[in-house]
Amino acid sequence: MILKIIAIILALAILLMAVVAVLNKKLIVSIIAAGAVSLFASVFYLLLAAPDVAMTEAAIGSGLTTIIFFYVLNKIKKDRLENV
Amino acid sequence: MFKKVFIFIVLTGFALILFKSYSALNPEQGLNEVATRYAEKGPDEVGAANLVGAVLVTYRGLDTLGEVAILFLSASIIGFFLKVKLEDEKAPRKVRKTSEILATASKIITPVIFLFGIYVFINGHLTPGGGFQGGAIIASGLVLMLLANPVKKVNHSIISVVESISGFSFVILGITGIFLAGGFLDNDFISLGEFGKLFSAGAIPIIYIFIGLKVGSELSGIVSNLQETQKEEI
């Protein structure tokens, strides 16, 4: 029972973060929200008894992807400023 | 207006497809045929306590090889397109000073993270995890190192040497399986050992070590390539 409640809360948090990632005007907020989606998803995988997938999701989805998005965002901003 | 209608139609169609597959979903009351075969014969044939790892490395080892190859391809494409110009290397990058807490903590935590990644892939045949997970954890340690010291230069020659040697050894081990055991990536050519011990499951720990090193160096290469193209912060 308590696992079900936790799962529902996690699913709602994933949905909320996904909506924030899509609708927010600031790209930085979107990137962090997308990382949070992966973080909640990895906890969800743990609840679904898939610790392998949870590890991958936490390390790649919320760690590496977020930092790569930040690097790319920084580069895009700089190029745009140089060209204007 | 037309655009919004179009988006609405696409979303409705998508929802219909999802609803159809949801309503047709009939959860199985047990393992299916293939899974039963793996679960029953796996421990005797492969000798790995982590059945997921056994499936990934031996039964479906070719898929893992394909995944590693795809990762290698994407890492090399990123490295190719992000080639740094020569004049950029001389001017040091101006960065904001990192906070004292992050700088101090990263010195203590980074080696622990590396060690944990190595633990995950060495114990891949016993506990959840394996080569991919361990490699990703190692790359996360590198990310922490780069966050604490953004101008740090990562040695690319070491990364590429480790990556090439481990990828090559992975394929060699797979081919050894053809000659000494049942087939490509069969782990039976080293004695299976005692079930559940560190030195068991034949070649799986060795293959996982190579996969872990390869994935870790590839992901670290991607991150450090991107880090080098950041000239200055705005």
Q: What is the pLDDT of residues B180-216, one digit of tens each?
A: 777 777 777 776 777 767 777 777 888 888 888 888 8
Q: Which residues, at least 6 apart from A33, have a Cβ–Cβ distance to it below 8 Å?
A: A17, A18, A20, A21, A24
Instruction: Quote ipTM for the complex.
Output: 0.81
Label residue B71 by pLDDT band (50, 70, 90).
Answer: confident
Question: Could you say which residues from 51 to 90 on chain B have a Cβ atom under 8 Å away from some Cβ of chain A?
Answer: 52
Q: Which of A53, A61, A2 is nearest to B56 (CA)?
A: A53
Distance CA B122, CA B133 (A): 11
Quick one: closest CA in A to B132, which residue?
A56
Whole-angstrom Cα distance, residue B212 to residue B136? 8
Residues B210-233 have pLDDT tens digits of 888 888 888 888 888 888 777 654
Task: Give the up-direction half-sphere exposure of residue B195: CA atoms within 13 A in the CB hemisphere.
Answer: 10
Q: Do A78 and B231 touch (CB under 8 A)?
A: yes
CA distance B138 to B159: 12
Across the A:B interface, residue pairs with CB atoms under 8 Å apart total: 57
Domain range summary for chain B, segments of one domain joined by + = 49-85+93-228
Q: Which residue has the higher pLDDT, B93 or A6?
A: A6
User: Which residue in A has a C-alpha nearest to residue B142's C-alpha?
Assistant: A64
Contacts with A47 (C-beta within 8 Å, 6 or more apart), sequence order: A3, A6, A7, A10
Residues B61, B175, B35, CA angle at the centre, nearest 5°?
25
Report chain A's mean pLDDT, rounded to a whole number: 86
Looking at the structure of chain A, the number of domains it has is 1
For the ranges A71-75, B13-17, B130-134, B186-190, the lowest mean pLDDT is seen at B186-190
The answer to whether residue B110 neighbours chain A at the CB level (below 8 Å) is no
CB-CB: which of A63, A75, A81 is closest to B229?
Answer: A75
pTM greater than 0.90? no
Locus of tokens 């997308």: A34
Q: Do A64 and B227 touch (CB under 8 A)?
A: no
Q: Are B134 and B145 in contact (CB under 8 A)?
A: no
Q: What's the pLDDT score for residue B195?
A: 72
Distance from CA of B53 to the nearest CA of A (A): 9
Poorest-confidence range of A77-81, B23-27, B39-43? A77-81
| Residue B1 pLDDT grade (very low, low, confident, very high; cuts 50, 70, 90) | confident
Measured in angstroms, the CA of A26 and the nearest CA of chain B are apart by 16
Q: What is the CA radius of gyration of chain B?
A: 23
Range of the domain at A75: 2-83
Contact B139/A64, CB-based, under 8 Å? yes
Nearest residue in A to B219, CA atom: A64
Contact check, Cβ <8 Å, B234/A74: yes
Shortest CA gap A59–chain B (Å): 6
